[in-house]
Amino acid sequence: MSALTAHRERPTKEKIGVFVCHCGRNIATTVDTKRVVEEILKHPAVVHAEDYDYVCSSPGQELIEKAIKEKRLTGFIVAACSPSLHETTFREVAERTGLNPYKCEIANIREQDSWVHEDKEKATEKAIKLTKSAVEKVIRNEELEPIKVGLYKKALVIGGGIAGIRAALDIADAGFPVVLVEKGSTIGGHMAKLAETFPTLDCASCILTPLMSAVAHHSNIRLLTLSEIMDVEGYLGNFHVRIKKNPRYVDPEKCNLCNDCVDICPVTVSSEFDEGLSLRKAIYIPFPQAVPSSYLIDLDACLGMNPITCGKCAEPDICGPEAVNFDDQTEIIEEDIGVIVVATGYELYNPENIGEYGADKYLDVITSLQFERLLSPSGPAVGIPKRPSDEKIPKRIAFIHCVGSRDERHQPYCSHICCTYSAKHALLFKELVPDADIYSFYIDIRAVGKNYEDFIRRVQEEAGVHYIRGKVSRIYEQDGKVKIFGVDTLLNKRIEIEVDMAVLALSMVPAHGIEDLASKMRIQIDGSGFLQELHPKLHPVESATSGIFLAGAAQSPKDIQDTVAQASAAASKALGILTQEKISHIPTVATVDTDLCSGCRLCISVCPYGAIKLIDEKAEVKEVLCEGCGACVSTCPSDAISLRNHTDEQVSSMLKALVGEI
C-alpha cells in the first residue's frame, strides 16, 4: 500500500481522492497500480491517491473515510471492478462521510481492463485513461439528492402458479393488499397437474391445494382469474394497471358445485387440465379443487349464448342458485399499484417441432406432463398409467430426456428439472407396475438440487431402470409398438428397442405471450425468451424496471423448490418497498434551460414516459416520471435539455481524458 499526496497549485476547487484497488491479484497482475497512482496524482484536481488490496473491504472503506476527513476531499474515484458491483457500496461510504453520493465515481479497471488484456504496460495505460476520465466526470458532477415520492401500498402479482401464489401470500400475510391476476380459470398452474413431487415424493396436491385455498380466503388478496394485463403505466410505487377480466358466465359466489349443469351439458371437448387425455363439458371446472371454486363456460365450445341455442345449464331446475349468467361481460379493472411480481411460468415446448419423435402422430408417444396426469390418482387413468391407444397398462416404457433441450436446433439451454422428474416417473411407474421394463435415454444426468443425486441413485439401483447414455434419433410406431432408434454412446453401439409407450421430457419454454407482457412492462427478455433479471447475483429477482420483480420459471427453468424460494425472495423485495413511507427516484434526470427552449415539442415526441409537458410554451420535465434515458437531450435542437451528471461538457472532457489529452 502506498499513499501519496500532491503538493501543487490547483486551478480547480475540487479536491479529488483516487483509490486504486488490486482486487487481490485480479487487477494487480495486469495493471501496475502504483503507476496509476503516480500518474493520476499529476491531474490538477487530484490531491490524494493510493492503492490497496481490496478497497471494497472494511479496511479499504476506512481508507477512503480517513482520506475524505483528513484531506477534505470533495469527491473520489475508486478504480476497481465494474460499477455494477460496488458503485452503491462506495456511494454509501461517501454518504456516511458527509459527501454527496454523486461525488463518487467508479473507474472500471477490472472487467473492462485487467481481465481482458494481457500486456501489462498497455493495460496500465488504459487504467490511467479510464481513471482520469472518471476524475473528469466527478469534478463536474452535481450534488444530487434522491427525489422523494409517495407510493401505493398495494402489490400486483401476475401469474397464479406456485410462484405467484407464494409471492401473493407472503405479501398479503405481511399486511399489504395484493391483486393476483391469472390468465386461466383457476390458480394452481402446472403444479396442480403433477402427481408427486421429487425428491420427497410428496403429493403435489397435498402441498398446493391448502395454499390455493389460503389465497381464496385471504382478506388481503383480490383474485382475478380469466384476466390479463392490458397495460402498465407509471413507475416504481406509482404504477397504474389496467386489467381485462374475461367473463366466466358462472357467478362463483352463487355456484355450489352441485355438478347438475355439467351433467346436462351436451357438448364434450378435450380437457386442457388432463393435457388432452380426457374429456370435459363446455361448462366445467378444470379440477375439483380449482380456485375460484366454481364452474365456467367455455364460450368456444358452448353451443351458443347469444342468442341462446341450448341454455340447459341455466334453467332454474338445473342451476338452483341461478349462478349461470349468460349476460356476464368483459370487465376492465383499473388498479393503482406500488410493486409488481411477474410469475408467468412456463410451457412445454411444442412436440410438433420435433417431427422425428412423432408425438403429434402417435398416440403412445406422450409428453411428460401427460404422463404426470396418467400417474395422478385423480387423473384420467385413475392412478395406473394406461396407453392412450388401447387403454392397456404398458409393460415396457421409455423415457427420453432432453427433448428440445440442450439442442442447438431447438433450445440450447438445459431445462433443469427433466432428469429428476424422469427418474421420478420411472420410480413411480415401477411401484405401480413392478414387472415393467423401463429405459431412460439421457445425455448427461443433471440432478443438481439438495438430495437429488441420492434420488437418482435410488431410482437406478432400487427400481432397476436401464439408463442408456445417448440421444434418440427417431421414434415411430409399428404394429402397435413404439420403436426407438438411438445410440448408446458408452458402449458405442446402435440401439433399437421396442416399447409400449414413450414419454418425452420436453424442454421448458417461457409462457406464451411473455414478450408482449414484457414490452408492456418494459422488462427485458434474455436470449432464450425468459425474463431477464437485473444481475444474476446482486439483483437476482429484480427486473431492470425498478419496482418490478421476477419469480419462478418465467425467469428461467427451475424446480418447485427454487421457484418457491425465488417467489419469497421477490415478495420480500416487494415488501421492502411497500413498507416505506416515501420512495426514492433517481435524481439523474433531464432538466430544461427555459431560456434556450424554443417550445418545439420534439422532446415530448421522443420521451417514452410522457415525462415532458409544455408549460407556457416551454418544456418542463416531471422528474418522478423521468427515467434518465437522455432521448430528449440528444433530440433537442436548441441544446436546451441536459441530463444531470451526464452533460455534454462531461462527455467531452471524458473523451479528452480517454485519448490522453488530459
Partner 1 sequence: MDIGFEPRIIAFLCQWCGYQGADMAGTSRLKYPPSIVSIQVPCSGRIETKQVLEALSKSDGVLIAGCHTPNDCHYVSGNFKCLKRVTLLKKFLKQVGINPARIRLEWISATEGRKFARVAREFTNEIKELGPFDFNGKSSQEIKAKQDSKLRLKEMGGKENE
Binding footprint of partner 1 on the chain (CB under 8 A): 82-84, 108, 110-113, 115-119, 122-123, 125-126, 129-130, 133, 515, 518-519, 522, 524-527, 532, 544-545, 588, 606, 608, 627-631, 633-635, 643, 646, 648, 651-652, 654-656, 658-659, 661
The phi, psi pair for 87, rounded to 5°, reads -55, -45
Q: How far is the CB of 161 from partner 1 (least distance, A)?
A: 24
Cα 618 to Cα 98: distance, rounded to the nearest angstrom = 36
Candidates 244, 245, 179; CA nearest to 215 is 179
- Residue 443, Ramachandran bin (φ over 0: left; ψ between -120 and 50: alpha; else beta): alpha
Pairing mode, strands 583-585 and 472-478: unpaired
Largest Cα span, the chain: 98
Cα 417 to Cα 202: distance, rounded to the nearest angstrom = 16
Residues with Cβ within 8 Å of residue 377, at least 6 apart in sequence: 195, 383
Cα 236 to Cα 336: distance, rounded to the nearest angstrom = 11
Q: How far is the CB of 657 from partner 1 (least distance, A)?
A: 9
570, containing H or E segment: helix 560-578
Task: Identify which of residues 264 and 629 has a Cβ nearer to partner 1 in the complex.
Answer: 629
Task: Identify which of residues 389 and 584 has a Cβ nearer to partner 1 in the complex.
Answer: 584
Q: Look at the block and give the residue holding cell 439401483.
A: 461
Candidates 114, 291, 133, 271; CA nearest to 214 is 291
Candidates 365, 373, 368, 423; CA nearest to 394 is 365
Is residue 16 within 8 A of residue 75, CB to CB? The reply is yes
Task: Identify which of residues 252 and 630 has a Cβ nearer to partner 1 in the complex.
Answer: 630
Cα 108 to Cα 78: distance, rounded to the nearest angstrom = 9
Task: Identify which of residues 360 and 526 has a Cβ nearer to partner 1 in the complex.
Answer: 526
Q: How far is the CB of 237 from partner 1 (least distance, A)?
A: 19
Task: Identify which of residues 6 and 28 has a Cβ nearer to partner 1 in the complex.
Answer: 28
Q: How far is the CB of 234 from partner 1 (least distance, A)?
A: 14
**β-bridge partners, 488:** 493
Task: Identify which of residues 119 and 263 has a Cβ nearer to partner 1 in the complex.
Answer: 119
Q: How far is the CB of 636 from partner 1 (least distance, A)?
A: 10
Q: How far is the CB of 516 from partner 1 (least distance, A)?
A: 10
Task: Identify which of residues 121 and 352 has a Cβ nearer to partner 1 in the complex.
Answer: 121
Overall size of the chain counted in residues: 662
Is residue 120 within 8 A of residue 30, CB to CB? The reply is yes
Residues with Cβ within 8 Å of residue 91, at least 6 apart in sequence: 101, 102, 104
Grid cell locating 497:
428397442
Task: Identify which of residues 78 and 265 has a Cβ nearer to partner 1 in the complex.
Answer: 78
Q: How far is the CB of 205 from partner 1 (least distance, A)?
A: 37
**β-bridge partners, 618:** 615
Is residue 433 within 8 A of residue 384, CB to CB? The reply is yes
Q: How far is the CB of 247 from partner 1 (least distance, A)?
A: 31
Task: Identify which of residues 87 and 364 has a Cβ nearer to partner 1 in the complex.
Answer: 87
Task: Identify which of residues 11 and 536 has a Cβ nearer to partner 1 in the complex.
Answer: 536
Task: Identify which of residues 136 and 196 has a Cβ nearer to partner 1 in the complex.
Answer: 136
Q: How far is the CB of 27 from partner 1 (least distance, A)?
A: 11
Cis upstream peptide for 394 (omega within 30°): no
Q: How far is the CB of 659 from partner 1 (least distance, A)?
A: 4
Side-chain-side CA neighbours of 532 within 13 Å: the count stands at 16
Cα 553 to Cα 418: distance, rounded to the nearest angstrom = 14
Task: Identify which of residues 614 and 631 has a Cβ nearer to partner 1 in the complex.
Answer: 631
- 3-state helix/strand/coil string of 80-108: ECCHHHHHHHHHHHHHHCCCCHHHEEEEE
Is residue 627 within 8 A of residue 235, CB to CB? The reply is yes
Is residue 136 within 8 A of residue 46, CB to CB? The reply is no
Displacement of CA 591 from its chain's centroid (Å): 33
Candidates 259, 282, 258; CA nearest to 270 is 282
Task: Identify which of residues 519 and 579 has a Cβ nearer to partner 1 in the complex.
Answer: 519
Q: Look at the block and give the residue holding cell 439442442.
A: 407
Q: How far is the CB of 239 from partner 1 (least distance, A)?
A: 16
Candidates 410, 422, 257; CA nearest to 323 is 257
Task: Identify which of residues 274 and 627 has a Cβ nearer to partner 1 in the complex.
Answer: 627
Task: Identify which of residues 469 and 539 has a Cβ nearer to partner 1 in the complex.
Answer: 539
3-state helix, strand, coil split of the chain in percent (to 5) is 30, 25, 45
Q: How far is the CB of 87 from partner 1 (least distance, A)?
A: 11
Angle at 67 between CA 64 and CA 71, to 5 degrees: 150
Grid cell locating 588:
439523474
Q: How far is the CB of 449 from partner 1 (least distance, A)?
A: 24
